Amino acid sequence: MTKAQAAKIERLTRKNDPDATKENILKIATEEFVAAGFSGARVDEIAERTKTSKRMIYYYFGSKEGLYLAVLEQAYTKIRTLESELDLENMPPVQAMAQLIASTFDHDDQNPDFVRLVSIENIHRAEHMKRSVVLSQMNIAIIDIITGILERGYADGSFTRRVDPVDLHMMISAQCFFRVSNRHTFGAIFERDLSSEMLKTRHKSLIVDAILAFLRHPSFELA
């Protein structure tokens, strides 16, 4: 088969399967944004790697920012979908909260690109994310999940500390996020490999236990 014939087949494949084409563009775009950030990533490079064209990428996503937002939305969709599929509403509240924390820990550990993308967007002060209606609506779901677990825990006495669900979401995210976002610097300072299975198992247990203990303990006033 000649190069021209192969290129024709590829063009026909893209034409007949636009969803696969978009998915491939998002995959490669994620790699480019993770590696170079929003400012450093080049649409020309993404087009070359996906064997499409800049024009086609803009046809699907509108602009470079539109492509970047689609990457962010896909990344957040993955974790929100994972959370919704845990069947937490049918678990006792303590088990449900522990499962949610452990799932967040595993997701961040297994998806360092997600952590990198969030870090990049923070560098930009979330200026792109603020323009996404999808992201603002999507992330309400996790607060509803946490609220439901907390209310069931208060009702049966499993949890005694009243806490704002958004604050608790921040706590869970911070604990799980830090060990991935800072694994290289923290590891270099303290000479610990945070990717080791032994430390991952220990840290997951530590984070789950700490947050559950927090919820079971009455609050106290700071001096």
Domain locations in the chain?
Answer: 13-62, 72-216
Q: How far is CA 48 from CA 44, 77, 154, in A?
A: 6, 27, 55
d(CA 213, CA 211): 5
**Matching CATH number, 13-62, of 1.10.10.10, 1.10.10.60, 2.40.50.100, 2.30.30.100:** 1.10.10.60
Fold that domain 72-216 belongs to in CATH: Tetracycline Repressor; domain 2 (1.10.357)
What pLDDT digit, counting tens, does each position of 114-170 carry?
999 999 999 999 999 998 988 888 889 999 999 999 999 999 999 999 999 999 999
**146, burial (CB in 10 Å: exposed 0-12, middle 13-18, buried 19+):** buried
DSSP labels, 59-76: HHHSSHHHHHHHHHHHHH
Q: pLDDT tens digits for 129-145?
A: 998 988 888 889 999 99
Q: Which amino acid is at 161?
A: R
Residue 23 pLDDT > 60: yes
Structure tokens that stand for 122 in this block:
């923070």
What is the model's pTM? 0.87
DSSP 8-state secondary structure symbol assigned to residue 86: S
